[in-house]
Amino acid sequence: MLELDRYKTPLNEVFSEQKKFELQLLVEKELADANFKLGKIPEEANKVIQERCNPKYVKLTRVKEIEKDVHHDVMSLVYAIAEQCGDYGGYVHLGATSYDIQDTVRGIQLTTAKQQILEDLQKTIEITKELTLKHKNLACIGRTHGIHAIPTTYGMKFGNFLNELIIAKKALEDAIINFGKISGAVGTYASYGTQEIEDIVLSKFNLKRQPITTQVISRVVHAKFIQSLALIVSVLEHFAKEIRNLQRTEIDEIRESFEGKQVGSSTMAQKRNPEKSERVCGIARVVRSYLQPAMENICLEHERDLSNSSTERIIFSQTCILTHYVTIQMNQILSSLKLNKDKIQYNLYFRKGAQCAENLMLKLSDKIGRQKAHELLKNLSNEDNFTEAVKNNEIINNYFDKEEIDKILDPLNYLGLSQDIVEKLLDL
């Protein structure tokens, strides 16, 4: 699994080689039972297959030995099962093509992964809701292009990420992946003569059928699923990047927790790096990179070729595991996030009134026109103390006294509808 042990979650087990092998045995076992129920194999043959088609008798090591000779993983599995079934081995895998087994197993794995990711993503949403509510009226400076803009609140900041998380979660919910396939070599059911066998097998695993397949389920289904995971990690990266930027020494409004024995740098003892947020951002790039092969896998030739197989052995497991990992990681980051309220206030007032130049411009527009007001305040913003420069300007003094100017340039008086927006988002 490359170096995925470093980014391990419970999904590593779901996509492990042993678990996949066990699921393949289960599908072959249920296929045999369905064939028996439809009168296609004798009762005694089914009894033997039901008993022997399990890891107690069929060993993964034996499958690998056979594969060295036959160069076909599913046929190696079939041979290994057949060896354990004696005279009834010929009834194993009856009517099936390899991807009847593979796509059904993938459906089981991806459905399990989806549910686990959704559960932990919901935790992210709940934690972000708490942060949004807790800081809904905490005023701070907004930034566009990395430059101080006008005031906003941390309720708005967290609320925006909350909204993005909700959208991303809905995308994953809509990416239906609980499909399997028991439809034969090119999807015509010619080897089975009925769709009933597919219904019997898939019902055992709570999977559904696609209305039509070739030898494989359309990779549009899987691409949509991976696209939803790419969307999730992109939202998490957006969130993590904001934390990273707000932790910069010169900003210092937010800090990741720093444990007692934690080390920031091997040489610079003073360092307190946002390393967990950086990890989220880095892993998000990897997950997004797997979207391209998922899209290209849609374009298989005729009723299928094998170009999807090798990529899917990588991208299915890794997109799920890594998405799950960064979701868990973000939950840890957010649960222990520190807000430096002193620095938040310092940065809010740092421009000495210039952060509310828009408010003054709008009020001055009624007196001298919008464009003249904009030009006047643009020039005054070059002064070291914007508020004092405004109070000393003759044109502005004709319309506003010093107390009015202080009120207009107070950031706490220019938060717009931020409180209402956040409360509606939280449905307070």
Q: Which residue numbers are catalytic?
A: 145, 265
Q: Choose among 151, 320, 116, 337: nearest CA to 230.
A: 320
What residues contact residue 426 under an 8 Å CB cut-off, 6+ apart? 129, 132, 133, 136, 159
What value, to the nearest 5°, has the Cα angle with vertex 330 and ends 329 and 331?
A: 90
What residues contact residue 223 under an 8 Å CB cut-off, 6+ apart? 291, 294, 295, 297, 298
Sign of CA dihedral 205, 210, 214, 217: negative
Q: CA 310 to CA 317: how far, in whole Å?
A: 12
- 300 within 8 A of 306, measured Cβ to Cβ: no
Q: CA 153 to CA 141: how far, in whole Å?
A: 8
Assigned token pair, 5 = 């042990």
- 240 within 8 A of 277, measured Cβ to Cβ: yes
| CA distances for 379 relative to 129, 143, 374, 414, angstroms | 41, 20, 9, 21
What residues contact residue 166 under an 8 Å CB cut-off, 6+ apart? 125
Q: What is the CA radius of gyration of the chain?
A: 30
* Strand blocks (E) in 175-322: 179-180, 208-209, 254-255
Q: CA 19 to CA 1: how far, in whole Å?
A: 14
End-to-end CA distance of the chain: 46
What's the one-letter identity of residue 140? C
What number of other Cβ atoms are within 10 A of residue 398's Cβ?
A: 9
Assigned token pair, 147 = 């430059």
What number of other Cβ atoms are within 10 A of residue 377's Cβ?
A: 20
What number of other Cβ atoms are within 10 A of residue 321's Cβ?
A: 24
Q: Find the helix or strand (DSSP H, E) in which 84 lies.
A: helix 73-84
